[in-house]
Amino acid sequence: MEQLHIVGGRRLHGQVRISGAKNAVLKLMAASLLVENECIIRNVPLIKDVLTMIEVLRNLGVELSWEEEAVLRIKPKKGLNYVAPDELVREMRASVQVMGPLLTKIGKVKLFQPGGCVIGQRPIDLHLKGFQALGAHVVEEHGYVYAEASKLKGVDIHLDFPSVGATENIMAAAILAEGTTVIKNAAKEPEIIEEQNFYNRLGARIRGAGTDTIRIEGVPALRSVPVDYTVIPDRIEAGTYILAAAITGGEITLLDVIPEHFEALTSKLKECGVQIQIDGDNMTVASSGKLKAIDVTILPYPGFPTDLQPQMTAVMSLADGTSLITENVFGGRFRYVDELVRMGANIRVEGRSAVVKGVKRLTGAAVIAPDLRAGAALVLAGLAAEGKTVIEGVHFIDRGYERIEEKLSSLGAEISLIN
């Protein structure tokens, strides 16, 4: 079983290049089911979730190959399958994002109903309500969800919550529908703008991504043109390295980032006393390591992202004072707190909030990552803790961070991956 071994106490310094955005690339790969010709996607991170999505798509009848490092060539074959393989859907929830593209392209899709999740309940009712509103017939039975439609018709859809996945799936399903679909209270994440841009390159007519209203004018067919697309940098990976610099009292420069995408984080960190300097696509973060505790409220974009909540909690565990971290996106996302407490943190969870009383020091311990971002939080705690931390559950971290041990080592951390 893989473990990460970290000896804490090293201040990070140097430069780090941020990889392509996991949550954009997975959706662009699913979107490639609609490609009539072939497409190239660049800046694809070599992470476990990308490898899983490659397998999902191969099973559905898509040809994928690595052209070179970080460059995927994708070409759907004629006659796609409509059933996504159970074990892959179980492994990666983002597999549900093939539903919208398949429904609009071949009129049916079936997959294993993704169940509960360690970070809280993650139903897909909003996705399915959207498909139904567009005229699809949806059946949920024997643990599967099946959707079919001979014709989809544009409609106005108001989402109860700005769900990222539902916005993306409904957007995809509406592309070849008859008439115009308007999604209101849509999610506004930068990854959704990526998808709009990608689909429009294929010949779709979508406007408004990045705002709460997205308008999709259905087209009879997409163009048979090759598309070459470069994915945006990963704002969550960037945020994790920023927080690593903050917790170790280091100074690092992130290369190739879009600073506007994580302003919710940097504005909060400035309040804590971290210095942030932007120079074009690069950002330098400098921290004395003595941070002021602040309260953080997790909200959909452009609010503070839930995918940085555990890492921020780790940083606040060493801050001066008490901070209140309130999670409004995923109810069950505090499962890692017991592990931080094992390292000496003083955190109490009350419902949707964590009360974090800053302590003077954390001490290295054997801990287990319960999920991807919680794993990153434990890495940050390990970097700042006295002595050695051993992290199990590394496969979760591999799902979303490209070569994390190499990148952190190059910044001066004492970290190694033990097989």
6, 50, 109, 166: residue in contact with ligand UD1 (rule CB under 6 A): 166
DSSP letter string over 203-253? T-EEE-BTBSEEEEE--S------EEEEPPB-HHHHHHHHHHHHHHT-EEE
Q: Does 50 bind ligand UD1 (CB under 6 A)?
A: no
Q: Which of 106, 117, 299, 417 is catalytic?
A: 117
Q: Does 335 bind ligand UD1 (CB under 6 A)?
A: no
Calpha distance 176→17 (Å, rounded): 38
Number of Cα atoms under 13 Å in the Cβ half of residue 85: 13
Q: Which stretch binds ligand UD1 (CB under 6 A): 132-140, 163-171, 198-206, 209-217?
A: 163-171
Q: Does 195 bind ligand UD1 (CB under 6 A)?
A: no
164, 231, 274, 367: residue in contact with ligand UD1 (rule CB under 6 A): 164
- Strand pairing category for 62-68 and 39-42: unpaired
Q: Does 23 bind ligand UD1 (CB under 6 A)?
A: yes
Q: Which stretch binds ligand UD1 (CB under 6 A): 134-142, 162-170, 213-221, 405-413?
A: 162-170
Q: φ and ψ at 71, to 5 degrees?
A: -125, 120
61, 107, 123, 303: residue in contact with ligand UD1 (rule CB under 6 A): 123
Q: Measured from the CB of residue 351, what is the shortest distance to ligand UD1 in angstroms?
A: 14
Calpha distance 231→351 (Å, rounded): 37
259: left (phi > 0), else alpha (psi -120 to 50), else beta? alpha
Q: Which stretch binds ligand UD1 (CB under 6 A): 8-16, 157-165, 357-365, 381-389?
A: 157-165
Residue nearest to ligand UD1 (CB): 165
For residues 253 and 398, which CB has a smaller minimum distance to ligand UD1 in the complex?
A: 398
Q: Does 210 bind ligand UD1 (CB under 6 A)?
A: no
Spatial contact of 243 and 315, defined as CB atoms under 8 Å apart:
yes
For residues 82 and 330, which CB has a smaller minimum distance to ligand UD1 in the complex?
A: 330
Q: Does 344 bind ligand UD1 (CB under 6 A)?
A: no
DSSP letter string over 103-156? HHHHSEEEEE-----TTS----HHHHHHHHHTT-EEEEETTEEEEE-S--B--E
Q: Measured from the CB of residue 138, what is the shortest distance to ligand UD1 in angstroms?
A: 12
Q: Does 307 bind ligand UD1 (CB under 6 A)?
A: yes
Calpha distance 252→12 (Å, rounded): 7
Q: Measured from the CB of residue 167, what is the shortest distance to ligand UD1 in angstroms?
A: 8
Mark 51-90 with x for binding to ligand UD1 (rule: CB under 6 A) and - for no binding. Answer: ----------------------------------------
**C-alpha distances out from residue 98 to 29, 45, 74, 157, 262, Å:** 9, 20, 15, 20, 27
Query: How far, in whole angstroms, is CA 128 from its chain's centroid?
Result: 21
32, 43, 52, 163: residue in contact with ligand UD1 (rule CB under 6 A): 163
Query: How far, in whole angstroms, is CA 102 from its chain's centroid?
Result: 22
For residues 34 and 145, which CB has a smaller minimum distance to ligand UD1 in the complex?
A: 145
- Within 10 Å of residue 13's Cβ, how many Cβ atoms? 14
For residues 254 and 372, which CB has a smaller minimum distance to ligand UD1 in the complex?
A: 372
- Strand pairing category for 322-327 and 296-298: parallel
Q: Considering CB under 6 A, how many residues would be counted as binding ligand UD1?
A: 20
Q: Measured from the CB of residue 85, what is the shortest distance to ligand UD1 in angstroms?
A: 18
Q: Does 30 bind ligand UD1 (CB under 6 A)?
A: no
For residues 195 and 339, which CB has a smaller minimum distance to ligand UD1 in the complex?
A: 195
Q: Measured from the CB of residue 123, what is the shortest distance to ligand UD1 in angstroms?
A: 4
For residues 151 and 395, which CB has a smaller minimum distance to ligand UD1 in the complex?
A: 395
* Distant-in-sequence contacts of 347-354, Cβ < 8 A, 24+ apart: 347/313, 347/317, 352/326, 352/327, 352/328, 353/324, 353/325, 353/326, 353/327, 354/313, 354/324, 354/325, 354/327
Is 272 one of the annotated active-site residues of the chain?
no
161, 228, 288, 321: residue in contact with ligand UD1 (rule CB under 6 A): 161
Closest CA to 261 of 275, 291, 290, 281: 281
* Residues forming the site for ligand UD1 (CB under 6 A): 23, 26, 94, 121-127, 161, 163-166, 187, 306-307, 329-330
Active site residues: 117
